[in-house]
Amino acid sequence: MHKLRYALNHMTAPTLPAGDFFRLASMLGISAVEIRNDLAGNAILDGTPPETVRRLAQAEGLEIISINALQRFNDWNAERAEEAKVLIDYARDSGAQALVLVPVNDGSGQEDGARQANLLRALTQLRPMLEEAGILGFVEPLGFDICSLRSKREAAEAIAQAGGGVFRLVHDTFHHHLAGEPEIFPELTGLVHISGVSDPAVGIADMRDPHRVLVDGDDRIDNVGQVRALLSAGFDGYFSFEPFAPSVHAYPDPQAAVGASMAYIDRSI
């Protein structure tokens, strides 16, 4: 049996303070985590210094894969450049290896031609900033119909045009299913986000973040098949749990819940 390398995104238990979240990962036997900049009342938004985050992670023997995320990265302007600098500096000082790059997801910026040009411009501007800090940029296409970057193929082509180097793709099992793009890019994939949808009533076009639960036997979006495909194609990086469902966030025992999902996936592959 292939032993997956699991990671834990802070969205799995967003109300836990950073130190408790890191302890949860450690107790699960997980050696890597993702931190976020969108959790109100928690690090990073509460002003926790990056050096504190680094120390807390090191105390549990964890590596920090990424900060999630620079939003609207492909709508590049002076404001975005400043946001990027702040997050890249925080990543460097906290010991995070990468910054996740999330595209515009409001129905704008989808026009053919302009869409690709905006993406390439953003990557070209980000590249020297990331290189100087020694941080990777993880580009995450989203499968939603309104997203300005749905295709991993389009992202891969832009990364090549921008000179490659510091950029990788995020393969998100939820967004991969929604996008309906069969192709995977294992050699360019830096991280996999895993979450399932078990609600039998919701159609694919209506699936949203609150539907995203821990992967179990009721999963409708073929996480197990996607994991198998990535492994057989040579991907050997982290599979990071990223459930957004309020029902998951309310679990009284997140360790048991995540542990059960890990066991299910391990059995199934």
Does the N-terminal peptide bond of residue 44 adopt cis geometry, omega within 30 degrees of 0? yes
Structural domain boundaries in the chain:
5-197+230-249
Residue 91 main-chain phi, psi, to 5 deg: -60, -50
What is the C-alpha to C-alpha distance for residues 120 and 135, in angstroms, rounded to an integer?
A: 19
What is the three-class DSSP state of 28? coil
Beta-carbon contacts of residue 97 (< 8 Å; ≥ 6 apart): 63, 64, 65, 66, 91, 135, 136
Give the model's pLDDT for residue 1: 46
d(CA 250, CA 7): 20
Give the residue among 197, 191, 203, 206 at the shortest CA–CA distance from 236: 191
Contact call for residues 245 and 210 (beta carbons, < 8 A): yes
**Tokens encoding 240:** 């990071």
> What's the average pLDDT block by block, 10 residues per block, for the chain (269 residues)?
86 98 98 98 97 98 98 98 98 98 98 98 98 98 98 98 96 98 97 98 97 98 98 97 98 98 97
Write down the pTM of the prediction.
Answer: 0.97
Q: Out of 3.20.20.150, 3.30.930.10, 3.40.50.10490, 3.40.309.10, select the CATH number for domain 5-197+230-249.
A: 3.20.20.150
